[in-house]
Amino acid sequence: MKAVTWQAKRSVEVTDVPDPVIEQPTDAIIKVTSSGLCGSDLHLYEVMTPFMNQGNVLGHEPMGIVQAVGSDVKNLQVGDRVVIPFNIACGSCFTCDIGMQSQCETTQVKSQNRGAMMFGYTKLYGEVPGGQAEYLRVPHADYGAVKVPEGPADDRFLYLSDVLPTAWQAVEYAHIPAGGSVIIFGLGPIGEMAARIARHRGAETVIGVDVVPERLARSKARGVHTIDLTKHEDDLLEVVHSLTNGRGADAAIDAVGMEAHGAGGTKLIQHAAGVLPDALAEKVFQTAGVDRLTALLAAIETVRRGGTLSIVGLYAGVADPIPMDTLFDKQITVKMGQANVRRWTDTILPLLTDDDPLGVDDFATHRMPLADAPRAYELFQKKDDGAFKIVFHP
């Protein structure tokens, strides 16, 4: 089959790889009909190359049609239409039972001291072949696969794989009071969807911060107070105070993560690590402060005293300099982590109706064949041609 494979830094190719087969009784095989290109994929494309191996199959936002099921899969049948969460969870261990599927004890990558396996990600998370491919093997499909109705186009349900649950959890963790305010750093797919969800759930003032004009315009069109950081880097706090009765936002969501704008020195460290031999580069990532913390520090500054900080952007550095004194002095509650996808899918699914309150039908800006993946990654990384969300159709 054809699949998008990682080759080197800023290099992906569509290559022939072996067709997946049933390996465990709880497996299923799906024919992929749509697969998203995620901002997290760009971390593999640009920064986290030391943890990749040539030929890794990418992609963790797939949906498709069931082609085969293992002998222990009782709730799926060939022909079912399913969305596949990006994290792989068993559904029956302690952490799954308490709604922390991203920490599944059955699929934890213990050799790397990491949580649940993920599709199409680094060796830190199991190197499980991903969903930017014609077919996909789905472990623990009896629990993980989310059955969705026939009829609407894939875009109605595709984002249950990652974008919707990740944004939903970001808002849930933010604990925005009814009629309250939230500031969201990063208006990419996760940040913008978090803004939509926050408004849907009753936030009165939703503030979005970004540097990309097209992204600012998208969010502004949906009622978000947008701030162009290129124009307000020096007076951001004053602008936020003017929108929040002088206190700061009740909650802040960091949807940017390790590759934030405006941290040139750390960017150089990231790139330097990326050209070291893998063994040395891994040590740099695992022992140094390699993340660009601009967004995180701004979130800490602009959230009000006693507010909540929800971190959904991916960070990788161990020794990042976090201002613990400010967090303590302002009594900020911090919640973070990979999305527990299956915890939220049943809550979100009823919103994916003909009314489309979250605007999923037109969320993607580009739909491309799998063969165009190298161009798609470059477009998305450079934010060219208004690339906001790209969906592949194998």
Q: Contact at 8 Å (CB) between 123 and 112?
A: yes
Q: Are residues 123 and 204 in the same domain?
A: no
Question: Which residue type does 288 have?
Answer: A
Rounded distance between C-alpha atoms, residue 113 and residue 2, angstroms: 32
Percent of the chain with pLDDT over 90: 80
Angle in degrees, 0-180, between the axes of helices 294-302 and 236-243, rounded to the nearest 10? 40
Q: How far is CA 19 from CA 32, 53, 339, in A?
A: 12, 19, 29
Residue with tokens 């929800």: 310
Name the 3-class secondary structure at 255: coil
Same structural domain for residues 328 and 263? Answer: yes
Distance CA 173, CA 316 (A): 20
Q: Are 20 and 135 in contact (CB under 8 A)?
A: yes
The mean pLDDT of 260-265, rounded to a whole number, is 46
Q: CB under 8 Å to 44, separation ≥6 — which residues?
A: 6, 52, 58, 121, 122
Per mean pLDDT, which range of 266-275, 279-288, 357-366 is the poorest? 266-275
| Same domain (yes/no): 275, 223 | yes
Quick one: 118 and 57 in the same domain?
Answer: yes
Which residues 6+ apart lie within 8 Å of 316 measured at CB?
43, 47, 48, 258, 285, 290, 291
Print the domain residue range for 369: 2-161+340-393
- 153 plus 284 within the same structural domain: no
Would you say 22 and 137 are in contact if contact means Cβ atoms under 8 Å apart?
yes
Domains identified in the chain, total number = 2
Q: How does pLDDT run across 130-177, given as a tens digit for each residue?
A: 999 999 999 999 999 999 999 999 999 999 999 999 999 999 999 999
Tens digit of each residue's pLDDT (9 = 90 or more) over 33-79:
999 999 889 988 887 888 899 999 999 999 999 999 999 999 999 99
> CB under 8 Å to 16, separation ≥6 — which residues?
1, 2, 3
- 321 shares a domain with 236: yes
pLDDT at 291: 55
pLDDT band at 278 (very low <50, low <70, confident <90, very high): low
Residues 181 and 321 grouped into a single domain:
yes
Residue type, 240: V
Which pLDDT value is given to residue 317? 59
Q: Choose the final residue of a domain: 292, 311, 336.
A: 336
pLDDT at 205 over 60: yes
* Among 360, 369, 365, CA closest to 393: 369
Same domain, 282 and 270: yes
User: What's the mean pLDDT in 247-252?
Assistant: 98
**One domain for residues 157 and 274:** no
Are residue 198 and residue 317 in the same domain, yes or no? yes
Tens digits of residue pLDDT in 324-374: 888 888 999 999 999 999 999 999 999 998 899 999 999 999 999 999 999
CA distance 346 to 172: 15
Among 61-70, 191-200, 307-316, where is mean pLDDT lowest?
A: 307-316
DSSP secondary structure of 115-181:
-B-BBT--GGGT-B--SSBSEEEETTHHHH-EE--SSS-THHHHGGGTHHHHHHHHHHHHTPPTT-E
pLDDT value of residue 61: 98
- Cβ-based burial of 336 (10 A; exposed 0-12, middle 13-18, buried ≥19): middle
Q: Determine what percent of the chain is predicted with pLDDT higher than 70.
A: 90
Whether residues 280 and 192 share a domain: the answer is yes
Tally Cβ neighbours within 10 Å of residue 197. Answer: 22
Domain of residue 128, CATH code: 3.90.180.10
Taking the CB of residue 306, how many other CB atoms lie within 10 A of it?
12
Measure the CA–CA gap between 111 and 125, rounded to whole angstroms: 10
Q: Which residues contact 184 (CB under 8 A, 6 or more apart)?
A: 191, 194, 195, 198, 206, 207, 208, 209, 224, 252, 253, 255
pLDDT at 257 over 60: yes
CB 141 within 8 A of CB 70: yes
CATH code at position 269: 3.40.50.720
What does the pLDDT read at residue 281? Answer: 54
* Weakest-pLDDT range from 116-120, 147-151, 172-176, 286-290: 286-290
Query: What pLDDT does residue 140 have?
Result: 98
Q: Give the chain's radius of gyration (CA, Å).
A: 20
Which of 289, 306, 336 is a domain's end point? 336
Q: What is the mean pLDDT of residues 271-291?
A: 50
Higher pLDDT, residue 90 or 284: 90
Rounded Cα gap, residues 186 and 179, in angstroms? 22
Residue 137 near residue 317, CB atoms below 8 Å: no
Are residues 178 and 147 located together in one domain of the fold?
no
Residue 153 CA to residue 206 CA, distance in Å, equals 30
Decide which of 311, 336, 361 is a domain's last residue: 336
